[in-house]
Structure 1
Amino acid sequence: MKIAFLTSEFPHPKIGSSGGIGTSIYNLSKGLIQLGHEVSILIYGQNEDDFFVENAISYYRIKNVKLKGFSRLLTQKKIQNLINRLFEEKKIDLIEAPDWTGISSNIKPNCPVVIRLNGSDTYFCHLEKRPVKFINKYRERKALQNANGLISVSKFTADITNNLFSLNRNFTIIPNSIDVEKFSNVSFSDRNENTILYFGTLIRKKGLLELPLIFNEIYKINNQVKLILIGRDASDVISGNKSTWKMMEDLFDENAKKNVDYLGSKDYSEIKEYICESTICVFPTFAEALPVSWIEAMALEKAIVASDIGWANEVINDGVEGFLVNPKDHLQYAQKVMQLIHDKNLRTQFGVEARKKVIKKFSIEVVAKQSFEFYQKVVK
């Protein structure tokens, strides 16, 4: 089959910055190619139109049309024309698009359209308890209504989306995936004792304003524990502050702050070693669809203390592959962290079970096969 992905991000030097959605598409593309399928990536929002082929993937860079008041609509028509041309030339059989801001809402191609939920703007606004722009919700609903097939990376996200948009549509649950072979070297395990690692964007929705308060409690229990943070600093949509890290700094107790090291952004290839060398990883997030970062840490047999919200039990069974705790319960969160810091046997047990779970449920081979079977049904 010939599958095309419409996206605004993808991890490639020519494309620009990429986040979790881009990484998820990359992993799925790799799995589909291994199964013998052809993959094209259509990336809008580029500074020029371009086409190239690399590692068996066909890339179509799409420059947005600039005309005040009509840019989005004209860009959508440009994308539609490209999709239809590729379909007519038998270069694609199906297009998959994200739910974010409903980019496919005014695109009516001649081939089937699948939307995969990784969390729409409406979804994240709901989880963060802030208002959503009417136009974004309208576009996202229209895109979902027009889609020939719907996938969600978690049941929680599907249920919330159905409710928010009053859709009553069936979603097939297919999670995000990772290349397990790339996350299999644990030779650096626990090199830095008493080290807690958070990696990901520094942003309110990922619980980063709770993490300092949690670490203050950890420091009271054991003042030898260190916290390492890796990730891009983001602005805060609620307060308007340009730096979440600056907001975090004010929340650490004076002494606890001395044991905190913010390393900023790191290359994707470097993060693996930091995961391996840490004692445990923490993810106190409030808003996700299905986080790839958790799966990566699990694949490296790293014990995790994560949020207990919504999607969490679709990734981790509490007390089996990690601990799930409400991030606002700072003391309990700290106690679970310290339980793992002090109990190496439990850390090892959680890590082994976590990797088994990833291989069984989140490997690119498993997810690519599930995705292809779904695509096949939609095309038929």
Structure 2
Amino acid sequence: MHICFLTSEFPKEGFPHGGVGSFIATLGRELVERGIKVSVVGLNYVSNEETEIINGITVYRLVSKKQKGLQWYYNSKVITNKIDSIHKEHPIDFVEATELGLAFLPKRKEIKYVIRMHGGHHFFAKAENRKIEWWKAFQEKKSFKKADLLVAVSEYVGETTRNLLKLGDVPIQVIYNPVDISKFFDASEIDYVKHTLLFAGSIVEKKGIRQLIESLAFLVDEFPEIHLLIAGKGGNLPGTKIPYLPILEKSITPEISKHITFLGLVNNSKMPNLIAKSNICCYPSHMEAMPLAWLEVLAMGKIFVGSTAGPGNEAVINNVTGILANPYSPEDIADKIKWVLDHPEVSKTMGKNARADVTDRFSVTVIANLNFDFFAKQKNEMF
């Protein structure tokens, strides 16, 4: 069996990469170990073509075309030509892309085309209450019309996308994102810095960072030593090029600012220790598809305060493996944090439950097996 993933975000040393790239790198490695040939086709970060094999995955990084206004057309031809050349040498069974990824690709009848929903344009436009951009909407609808198979990383993102794009009763296979447990040690018994909160992620409105900061006003009198560490880089206001971080910083009162430290972007290799040393990890997102950052905290057995929005109750078993708060209510976020601080032993038990649950439901071995079974079944039905 041969699966070809389409992404320009596959991790490359010295360059930033997105969550989809990390997902494919993790899953692809495991699929290779199960005897599947895995290729990745995408555009390069630099102006030359490169091919390399990483953990058994053949990665093709192509030269991006710069023709203004028609860049989408020429880049789709570059990707199509590479798929064709790979297919001639090693016949491809499945081509997998994200929501917009199939829009301009011609289909070959001997290949099945898969969309895996990580959260597309319609999904996040709704979540951020912003206008649909017609060009992206056009691409997304065109892409879904070409898909033979649909996979979603959570039931929520699958069903929400079904409703937004009016997909009818087409089957959607839910397979969660995987977590490589081996990269995240059990921190449930490690000493932490008391009353330290950690937020990690993009500093944008949809991540709930403003409400988390505002929640401190309900906590500082009772917990004067409370301190929020914010790890991540700033993004822009939705649909604009206006930086969000300066606006956020101006909204913080002097009383609260002394309880906050902005750490900037933290290297992935340093995140586990930062998570381990924090009392509570709190990521009250307004919307996610299936947040890998949440799963990484849970995998470490840390007490976690997440969000009731979106797939929150799919990732977290409320009051068993973590706690879910209303992400739009600073007071509710504060109440959940206060409960954790007042119940350290029960919280420790939740952390242990979380690590066990992630191992059972989200570990890379479990998720890779589900993907293998899904593709194997589809391949058998092709013949």
| TM range, smaller chain | over 0.9
Stretches (4+) displaced over 3 A = 238-241
- The 8 Å contact of residues 223 and 256 in structure 1, kept in 2 or not, is answered as no
Question: Is residue 339 of structure 2 the alignment partner of residue 339 of structure 1?
Answer: yes
- Superposed CA deviations along residues 162-206 of structure 1, whole A, max 9, x for unmatched, are 111111121100011110111124288342111100111111111
| Partners of 1:128 and 1:278 in 2: CA distance | 29
What amino acid is aligned across from residue 105 of structure 2 in structure 1?
A: I
- Superposed CA deviations along residues 57-94 of structure 1, whole A, max 9, x for unmatched, are 21100112222332111211221111122112116432
Note the 1:270-289 alignment, pairs <5 A: 270-289=270-289
What amino acid is aligned across from residue 22 of structure 1 in structure 2?
A: G
Question: Is residue 34 of structure 2 the alignment partner of residue 35 of structure 1?
Answer: yes
- The 8 Å contact of residues 187 and 302 in structure 2, kept in 1 or not, is answered as no
Aligned pair partner of 2:104 in 98, 103, 106 = 106
Q: CA 1:103–1:174 in structure 2 vs 1: closer, same or farther (change >3 Å)? A: same
- The 8 Å contact of residues 145 and 167 in structure 1, kept in 2 or not, is answered as no
- Superposed CA deviations along residues 267-315 of structure 1, whole A, max 9, x for unmatched, are 1111111001101100111121000000000000011111101211111
Look up the match of 1:69: 69
- Superposed CA deviations along residues 88-118 of structure 1, whole A, max 9, x for unmatched, are 211643221111xx13111024322111000
Indicate the SS of the match to 1:161.
helix
| Partners of 1:287 and 1:339 in 2: CA distance | 23
- The 8 Å contact of residues 30 and 364 in structure 1, kept in 2 or not, is answered as no
TM-score by structure 1 length?
Answer: 0.94
| Partners of 1:103 and 1:70 in 2: CA distance | 16
| Partners of 1:37 and 1:233 in 2: CA distance | 38
| Partners of 1:147 and 1:328 in 2: CA distance | 35
Q: CA 1:294–1:303 in structure 2 vs 1: closer, same or farther (change >3 Å)? A: same
Alpha-carbon RMSD across the aligned residues, in angstroms, is 1.7
Note the 1:238-317 alignment, pairs <5 A: 241-242=242-243, 244-317=244-317
- Residues 87-96 or 135-144, more deviating: 87-96
| Partners of 1:308 and 1:267 in 2: CA distance | 28
Note the 1:107-186 alignment, pairs <5 A: 107-110=105-108, 111-168=111-168, 169-186=170-187
Q: CA 1:343–1:190 in structure 2 vs 1: closer, same or farther (change >3 Å)? A: farther
Indicate the SS of the match to 1:219.
coil
Indicate the SS of the match to 1:167.
coil
Question: Is residue 229 of structure 2 the alignment partner of residue 228 of structure 1?
Answer: yes
Q: CA 1:261–1:188 in structure 2 vs 1: closer, same or farther (change >3 Å)? A: farther
For structure 2, the residue ranges without an aligned partner over 5 or more in a row are none
- The 8 Å contact of residues 80 and 109 in structure 1, kept in 2 or not, is answered as no
Look up the match of 1:326: 326
Look up the match of 1:193: 194
Look up the match of 1:237: 238
- Superposed CA deviations along residues 99-158 of structure 1, whole A, max 9, x for unmatched, are 1xx131110243221110000011100111100111111111111121111100011111
| Partners of 1:364 and 1:132 in 2: CA distance | 34
| Partners of 1:378 and 1:70 in 2: CA distance | 35
| Partners of 2:29 and 2:247 in 1: CA distance | 39
Look up the match of 2:96: 96
Indicate the SS of the match to 2:356.
helix
Indicate the SS of the match to 1:42.
strand
| Partners of 1:207 and 1:187 in 2: CA distance | 25
Give the drift of 1:45: 5.0
- Superposed CA deviations along residues 317-366 of structure 1, whole A, max 9, x for unmatched, are 11111111112221121011021123221221111111111111111111
- The 8 Å contact of residues 2 and 39 in structure 1, kept in 2 or not, is answered as yes
- The 8 Å contact of residues 212 and 251 in structure 1, kept in 2 or not, is answered as no
TM-score by structure 2 length?
Answer: 0.94
- Residues 164-173 or 102-111, more deviating: 102-111
| Partners of 1:300 and 1:184 in 2: CA distance | 6
What amino acid is aligned across from residue 242 of structure 2 in structure 1?
A: N
Q: CA 1:376–1:327 in structure 2 vs 1: closer, same or farther (change >3 Å)? A: same
| Partners of 1:127 and 1:237 in 2: CA distance | 11
| Partners of 1:96 and 1:256 in 2: CA distance | 46
Give the drift of 1:3: 1.8
- Residues 32-41 or 206-215, more deviating: 32-41
- The 8 Å contact of residues 308 and 325 in structure 1, kept in 2 or not, is answered as yes
Q: CA 1:363–1:156 in structure 2 vs 1: closer, same or farther (change >3 Å)? A: same
- Superposed CA deviations along residues 194-224 of structure 1, whole A, max 9, x for unmatched, are 1100111111111122121112222233111
| Partners of 1:368 and 1:22 in 2: CA distance | 16
- The 8 Å contact of residues 27 and 178 in structure 2, kept in 1 or not, is answered as yes
Q: CA 1:217–1:45 in structure 2 vs 1: closer, same or farther (change >3 Å)? A: farther
- The 8 Å contact of residues 10 and 17 in structure 1, kept in 2 or not, is answered as no
- The 8 Å contact of residues 30 and 364 in structure 2, kept in 1 or not, is answered as yes
- Superposed CA deviations along residues 19-53 of structure 1, whole A, max 9, x for unmatched, are 22222112211221232322222122532211112
